[in-house]
Amino acid sequence: MDEDWGAIAASSKMPPFSLFNKISPEEAAQKESFVDIIVYNRWSKAERRLYQKLKATYIAKKIEKEQINSIEDITDSLNQLALFKTNSDKDDKQIDDLISTLEGMKLRHSNTK
């Protein structure tokens, strides 16, 4: 029984995996999830800082528009910002402010239940 693997892959709803996937920090920052670790590790230090800055701005805009309202969204955003903070050489006031805002949101969300 011969199977056509190309046809199976084409009919699949899963995104294609590519070890050599190229994506810019600007594109990656607009996605809901954290960038693929392989892509992140290929970026230069400047591109990583740009991604972190853009992602923090993206999260701040979501907070302003009140699009972060579930505990999962809050936790995911907190985890991403905490990762940025641990990987950063210097303190970033914007990330610190976002972390404290999200922690307050998480506390209010847990107190309402």
SS3 track for 31-71: CCCCCCHHHHHHCCHHHHHHHHHHHHHHHHHHHHCCCCCCH
8 A C-beta contact, residue 71 and residue 109:
yes
Both tokens assigned to 112: 């309402």
Give per-residue pLDDT as tens, 42-59: 999 999 999 999 999 999
Report if pTM > 0.85: no
Helix (H) or strand (E) holding 78: helix 71-87
Would you say residue 12 has pLDDT above 60? no
The two most distant CA atoms of the chain are separated, in Å, by: 61
Would you say residue 99 has pLDDT above 80? yes
Give per-residue pLDDT as tens, 25-44: 999 999 888 888 888 889 99
The pLDDT of residue 37? 84
